[in-house]
Chains A and B, each alone.
Chain A
Amino acid sequence: MDAFRRSVSNTITIARRELYAFFVSPVAYVVVFFQFAVCGYLFNLMCSAQQPLEVYRDSMYGGGFPGVAPTLLFWLRFTSMIAFPAITMRLFAEERRSGTIEQLMCNPVRDIEVVLGKYLAGMGIFAVMLLLSMIFPFWIHKYSQQEWGQMLAGYLSFVGTGAVFMAVGLFVSSLTRSQVTAFLLSLGALFLLWMIGWGADKAQGTAIGQFLQYVSLENAADDLVNGILDVRAAAYYISLTAFFLFGTVRSLASTRAQ
């Protein structure tokens, strides 16, 4: 029990320091601003869309067709593909470049506490993003009377995708000492993950198609967006996140063994 208390305390201590580092550097602000500038612009476009996109505008003010929320959520997930690597790139790469990782890892802390601490800090920034983005569903609800339940289920797709993206980015950051490399590699990795869905569409009906369908990020998101709370989607996000976090722990262990 005492060991568990210490683990939690160490993880929180590391997460707090990491959050502090986010707040004193401009990167996090710039990224959050950029994502909302883009999504806000697209949202505005949808609400005032002319032909042939007027279906969005009509759904916004007429109700019924749930056109705006799914598209907005798509763009939130899509822009995260660029925003998240910018947030995670620093987490390990900077420690390795500056050498602070030695001092950190010579503390009586477990590798997994370091990984979870940094992951939590990243998720803290993500929580800020989520909170800020809540302005969109409020707006949609106000004008289109769309149900909260469906919108929040759809939001879970953003949460799940974010959790996976954060873990992938953290893993990639632990592989290199350059933030730029970490950023580009994570961007590539996330894009690959995203593309799997396209492959699934192309190979529909075959066994490979089925497999790709199962591992596709966007497929898991679709059900949620349509208001279906599926255990499979949750299992998908959780197992993928756990997989990459475990990879990060292994990557740290191999740094030690070098």
Chain B
Amino acid sequence: MIRVEGLTKYYGPYPAVRDVSFHVREGEIVAFLGPNAAGKTTTMRVLTCYHPPSFGEAFIAGHSVRTEALEARQQIGYLPESIAMYEEMSVVSYLRFCSRLRDVPRHEVEDRVESAMTRCRVDDVADRAIGKLSKGYRQRVGLAQALVHDPPVLILDEPTIGLDPAQIIETRELIRRLSGERTVMLSTHILPEAQALAQRVIIINHGRIVAEDTPEALTGRVQKVDTLFIRISETSDAVAQALRVIPEVKNIRVAEREKNSVAYHVDTARGHDIRADLARFIVNKNWGLLELRPMRMTLEDVFLSLVTEEEGSN
């Protein structure tokens, strides 16, 4: 549905995006993840035909952004980062304006506007001026605007930036609900967001794609060992030595030393679940097992490790 081939975009002499290629299948939700100034917004602006690419091509539903910009834009609902809208217009008249520009047939305009307002829950402020709305409402009007012509592709640039935690949760919920049959591409620098919403994550840094996979697979790629977290009440140093006897244990580190307990990170070979064995071992020694849980690498760790890997190789 979205195909990007060898996309490069220069701002003056500076390449904001360098040789980026990716693919988003129909109905997929893909997150574009990267630190600020990584090239996310630039890529999205090329996709929405706001900026023409310097080199390379992009296609939206088969329409080239270079030669068929109008057709490509027609397929897209776009929420720019911290969307600016005409402050003096009321919500409903703004949505009418948007739907007319996107070729919604005249007799359908009212229904589409009505349904977009209901779905994004802005119907209670329909007649208020956009400039007088709170940040959360504005963001929802922004989403309603992106949806009003019922586009097959949604492009959302940092859809939750600047919102308070309750609004963030609400907006994510909304995006998940709206995505439905649509192809969604959203950008974020918040990792849990990518994890929560996307089926696939594209990590971009310094204008290049660093990695591209499902959140789980990305974790797997970086994680060479499984790590278990254990907390026991026996505080003697002999414990670490004794645990190394178990063959699957690769490494053991002290994570936290407290007055009555010590916590360890135990690295084990991948794919071997030794939790039961470990628990039996500790109980048999009578060390007082307080806690035992697997530690998952967060996408944050994955991201950091991929980005540092990339910088190391340069």
Contact of B88 among A6, A21, A99 (CB under 8 A): A21
Binary contact track A195-238/B, C-beta < 8 Å → 1, others 0: 00000000000000000000000000000000000000000000
Interface check A51, CB cutoff 8 A: no
Contact of A17 among B73, B97, B145 (CB under 8 A): B97
CA distance A107 to B52 in the complex (A): 15
Contact of A13 among B74, B82, B97 (CB under 8 A): B97
CA distance A257 to B97 in the complex (A): 26
Within 8 A of B (CB), among A1-48: 6, 9-10, 13-14, 17, 20-21, 24-25
Contact of A106 among B80, B82, B86, B93 (CB under 8 A): B80
A100→B49 contact, CB < 8 A? no
Interface check A108, CB cutoff 8 A: yes
B50→A107 contact, CB < 8 A? no
In the bound complex, residues from chain A placing their C-beta under 8 Å from that of B98 are 107
If A20-B89, A256-B51, A257-B52 touch, does A108 touch B70 (CB 8 Å cutoff)? Answer: yes
B103→A21 contact, CB < 8 A? no
B84→A107 contact, CB < 8 A? no
Interface check B3, CB cutoff 8 A: no
Interface check B189, CB cutoff 8 A: no
A106→B48 contact, CB < 8 A? yes
If A256-B50, A256-B52 touch, does A107 touch B86 (CB 8 Å cutoff)? Answer: no
CB distance from A169 to the nearest CB of B (A): 20
A13→B50 contact, CB < 8 A? no
In the bound complex, residues from chain A placing their C-beta under 8 Å from that of B103 are 6, 108
Interface check B172, CB cutoff 8 A: no
A110→B73 contact, CB < 8 A? no
Contact of B76 among A14, A106, A257 (CB under 8 A): A106
In the bound complex, residues from chain A placing their C-beta under 8 Å from that of B74 are 108
Residue in A closest to B50 when the chains form the complex, CB atoms: A106
B51→A108 contact, CB < 8 A? no
CB distance from B95 to the nearest CB of A (A): 12
Within 8 A of B (CB), among A88-137: 98-100, 102-103, 105-110
CA distance A258 to B14 in the complex (A): 11
Residue in A closest to B103 when the chains form the complex, CB atoms: A6
Residue in A closest to B47 when the chains form the complex, CB atoms: A106
CA distance A13 to B100 in the complex (A): 7
Contact of A25 among B49, B88, B101 (CB under 8 A): B88
Residue in B closest to A18 when the chains form the complex, CB atoms: B86
CA distance A20 to B78 in the complex (A): 24
CB distance from B270 to the nearest CB of A (A): 45
CB distance from B275 to the nearest CB of A (A): 52
CA distance A98 to B97 in the complex (A): 18
Interface check B37, CB cutoff 8 A: no
Interface check B222, CB cutoff 8 A: no
If A108-B102, A258-B11 touch, does A17 touch B89 (CB 8 Å cutoff)? Answer: yes
CA distance A17 to B86 in the complex (A): 10
Closest A-B pairs by Cβ, 9 of them: A99-B84, A108-B73, A107-B101, A108-B74, A106-B48, A13-B100, A100-B84, A108-B70, A24-B88
- Cβ contacts A to B, 27 pairs, < 8 Å: A10-B101, A13-B97, A13-B100, A17-B86, A17-B97, A20-B89, A20-B93, A21-B86, A24-B88, A100-B84, A102-B50, A102-B80, A102-B84, A103-B78, A103-B83, A103-B84, A103-B145, A106-B49, A106-B50, A108-B70, A108-B71, A108-B74, A108-B103, A109-B101, A256-B51, A256-B52, A257-B52
